[in-house]
Amino acid sequence: MGLRPNLLTRRAAGVASTTLALLLSTAAVGVTPAAAALAGHAEECATPADTHTDAKVKAGGTAKHDPNELTAAQVRERDADLVAALRERALRNGPEAAGPATMATVTIPVIVHVIQRDSTRAGGNIPDSMITSQINVLNQAYSGATGGAPTAFAFQLQSINRVTNPAWYPIVYGSSAERSMKTSLRQGGKNVLNMYLGELSDDLLGWATFPKRKLDSMDGVVVLGESLPSGTATNYNQGDTGTHEVGHWLNLYHTFQGGCSGSGDSVSDTPAESSPAYQCPTGRDTCSTAGADPIHNFMDYTYDSCMYEFTAGQAARMITAWNAYRAA
Ligand SMILES: [Zn+2]
């Protein structure tokens, strides 16, 4: 998902940062807003290995690798692969299968892996009630009940798998421990959403893999446990990190992908924006093209309280990608 605004940004905005300090491993020092600094970082750190991954960083963003944003080349590669995957499917199943996206409901089985250091809440032991609330948040968001376009998707919790393993806690993005965790725990086919919850490395709120033609064990979303509804991640504890990461898992880019130029996020009804939006900057309009910035879109970086919608174009992109990559 997004980068949380850093301490300096919040102080400048007059927002109390007491609770925020608890979330920070290192207070950011400097005059450059974290957003700009880390967006720059993303460009520098983007590697081919990040092509199918997307992350969201916590306040204070000390992450060395921030794979949130894709390069233009990575977007071209992914979009070309989507076209190729649709063509492949049409050859296999007939043109109907890859034809116009249909809005029939797809119910996605969800397997939640709670990664814990020990049995304490600080050690990752979040209650089942937060997980069922998260599933409700996903269903509300993807049905359009929160104010956006309805999508084809519904979510059904299959199981909660609690794993106590200090070697996997926190979950470190891109580490061999992450690979070993997912290789050991991942269940189901391409249509099964595996969600890993725990404390995360590098101030991350979450990360997700984009769909690929060939399933691998890394497939899934990783979400900060305390970002679930009623968690302790101030401003990010209504479950929309989960909503955002699942959006990537269903092939959505950030609304600010590509900035003001080109095809942006490859969705025509999300107005272009030059950079991520933070907090809830009502009226923000960073591109000369039509439309104010989509700060209420789940695929931006604003506070959970600010984001409540997907667009019809995003809904179409998701079901098209589902048919290409994840449908049986
Ligand atoms: Zn993201």
Widest CA span of the chain, in angstroms? 58
* 253 C-alpha to ligand 1 centroid (Å): 7
State the pLDDT at residue 102: 52
State the pLDDT at residue 176: 97
The model carries a pTM of 0.81
What phi, psi does 20 have (nearest 5°)?
-60, -35
State the pLDDT at residue 97: 58
pLDDT digits (tens, 9 = 90+) for 215-262: 999 999 999 999 999 999 999 999 999 999 999 999 999 999 999 988
CA neighbours closer than 13 Å in the CB half-sphere of residue 112:
26
Residue owning tokens 């050690």? 123
pLDDT digits (tens, 9 = 90+) for 105-159: 899 999 999 999 999 999 999 999 999 999 999 999 999 999 999 999 999 999 9
Q: Is the pLDDT of residue 276 over 60?
A: yes
* 132 C-alpha to ligand 1 centroid (Å): 22
Q: Which residues are catalytic?
A: 245
CA distances (Å), 145 to each of 6, 154, 243, in order? 31, 12, 13
Taking the CA atoms of residue 89, residue 69, residue 224 and residue 185 in that order, the dihedral angle to the nearest 10 degrees is: 40
pLDDT band for position 52 (cuts 50, 70, 90): very low
Mean pLDDT, residues 30-38 taken together: 30
* 68 C-alpha to ligand 1 centroid (Å): 5
Determine contact, residues 193/223, Cβ cutoff 8 Å: no
* 313 C-alpha to ligand 1 centroid (Å): 18
Determine contact, residues 38/67, Cβ cutoff 8 Å: no
3-state DSSP call for residue 219?
coil
* 102 C-alpha to ligand 1 centroid (Å): 25
Roughly what angle, to the nearest 10 degrees, separates helices 128-143 and 240-249?
Answer: 60
Residue owning tokens 């070309």? 80
* 199 C-alpha to ligand 1 centroid (Å): 17
* 93 C-alpha to ligand 1 centroid (Å): 32
